[in-house]
Amino acid sequence: MNRTSSKAMLVEELKAEAKSLGFSRVGITGVNSSAHIDFYQSWIDAGMQGEMQYLAREESVRRRSDLEQTLPGARSVIVVTHDYLTEDLGCSPDDPEMAIIATYARGDDYHDIIKSKLLGLLEWLSQRVPERVEGRAYVDTGPILERDLAQRAGLGWFGKNTMLIDPTSGSFFFLGVLLVDLELSADSPFLEDRCGTCRSCLDACPTGALLGRDASGAPVMDARRCISYLTIEHRSAIPVELRSAMGNRIYGCDICQEVCPWNERFAEPTGDSAYQPSQDLDGPSLLELAGNLLSTDELGFRNTFKKSAITRAKRSGFLRNICIALGNWGAPAAVTTLLRALSDVEPLVRGHAAWALGQIESSQARSALSERLSSEDDAWVKTEISAALQTQDSSGL
């Protein structure tokens, strides 16, 4: 057997092993510099990363441009997908009393699941070849342009919603990346743009975060307006002008994927039990969820969600999001819970509870806001309370 056929057989066996580990699709590409790094830098220069300053660090940009900065001697990149779509068990964004959590976060934390499988694949590869194989596994946590690598590995194209879309399965999948210092036969890149003239995701985004394609054809998202960013990565107050548009989505957002024709036609629920929704996360009651969190601290929050990606938001951020959803519901039934939140130890929670109370036509809410204004010692929270009282005044209370 010649060297070329031997390499081809290794890749074939590698892909079979990856699928036996549960990965849906597998592609391989080289470590040549990304064609998207200039766009990435211009996106950073425009400040569209918001508070995600780790994306703008000089070292971070350099490592995204040159994979050998992450793994010296890197020769190949193995990119895998892992489907996560599950069936809703009664979760409805049209029910304002219900909390909507992004599909991917309703089950176990994907970081741990996929990284473990990638390390298993690396171990298999190390045993399959005579030389020692060095590798690095990444799952949405390192300075890697995962979607760029996936496109180069033939797994799909960049949709207008900035997601990678596979023509046979849509976009409800995670990406995992394994850098190795072994030269493997690369797959052909996916060069087509199959979004065409479709604007479904652009028109459906409630906050206007999706900006279409730039002159080079790259899809542009202003993360500062994205509900996923706002509810997870954004650590401070949610801009007032975006709060109502968030509805009852308290962690992440699936809207741009839900309306995508490729998902409507081809996306199928995963068979992986790890991603099946926890009973507590598939459309939980906003009031019940808020009540539980207000009765615990950060450690209790982390213990409650220890197997979930939701810990990324932290207790204060998650409660902030819930308060906004309660304000968008606008029902007097939410007042008692919001009054508890108005006295929370975290200013971030108190301020958003004040805003939410201002959205509810309730004399009880107005009285509580007035009383809290006189005792509140945080300047930003006092500003939120004053604004909420003005909203109450405009409603005639």
Q: Which residues are catalytic?
A: 140
> Using CA of residue 295, residue 296, residue 297, residue 302, what is the dihedral sign?
negative
Tokens of 122: 């690396």
CA-nearest of 221, 227, 223, 222 to 243 is 227
From its phi and psi, is residue 99 left (phi > 0), alpha (psi between -120 and 50) or beta?
A: beta
Q: Tell me how far CA of residue 217 lies from CA of 8, 106, 212, 213, in angstroms.
A: 33, 33, 9, 5
The β-bridge relationship of strands 25-30 and 76-83 is antiparallel
The candidate with the shortest Cα–Cα distance to 322, out of 282, 346, 286, is: 286
The three state secondary structure string of 165-191 is EECCCECCEEEEEEEECCCCCCCCCCC
Residue 314 falls in which region: left (phi positive, over 0), alpha (psi -120 to 50) or beta: left
Burial category of 32 from C-beta neighbours within 10 Å (exposed 0-12, middle 13-18, buried 19 and up): exposed
